[in-house]
Structure 1
Amino acid sequence: MAEETIYLKEVLEIMRTPNSEGKAVKFDISVRTFNRNSKTGGALNSYENAKLVMKEKGMDKDSIYALQHFKKPKTPKIRKNPQHFENKTRNIRLENGEVKKIHIRYIISFNGKKVIY
């Protein structure tokens, strides 16, 4: 039986397309880890019901975007631009609210389909 496949370009498009309510879509994803400095990693992490961190319509005050942009700290904090496009990374939010940075080239499967380039 042939395994279903999906192209990385399609994966990225599905991740960033909001649903009919203007919210980020949920997906299941498996990603390999790798540390370029120490040349270690290779562990396979699987995340269920993850979402791409993005601006959503009708967000509540506790959403990631609202916490980053609307609450002003007493002392201004300078944030570095993550340059996701150049670094080929994306931030995903897990069900428990934790945010993980993933490298798009290390995505192994997306919604049960094998990712190909």
Structure 2
Amino acid sequence: MNESGTGTTATPVEERLRAALAARAQRVGPADLRPLRPPSGPVRFRRVPVRRAVAGVLVLAAVVALVFLTVRHEPARPVGPARSPHPPAGTPTAPVPSPVSPSTPQPSPSARQP
């Protein structure tokens, strides 16, 4: 296995490149690096957490709306047993007058002509 961990032997080109990069890395020292300065200008606001928060709030609102609409409509209650249209025997009943429409005149028997 070679230095890269691939298990193959390095070609002459790869060996020359590695040697050149190692020599270059040895020549760089602290004096070659620029001094560390705090960033200048306005601080950039990261939008990724804001987008995730907005997406989370929208998902939560959708779930709450779904639960509200599902729970708000109560399931239909079963209908009670049917009752007889006639009262039980032995109960006095008052006669119920039949509804007569005042707008429709009723023909009298004497008004008929054969």
| TM-score category (smaller protein) | under 0.3
Structure having the higher helix fraction is 2
Structure having the higher strand fraction is 1
Higher RCO structure (Cα 8 Å, ≥6 apart): 1
| TM-score normalised by structure 1 residue count | 0.17
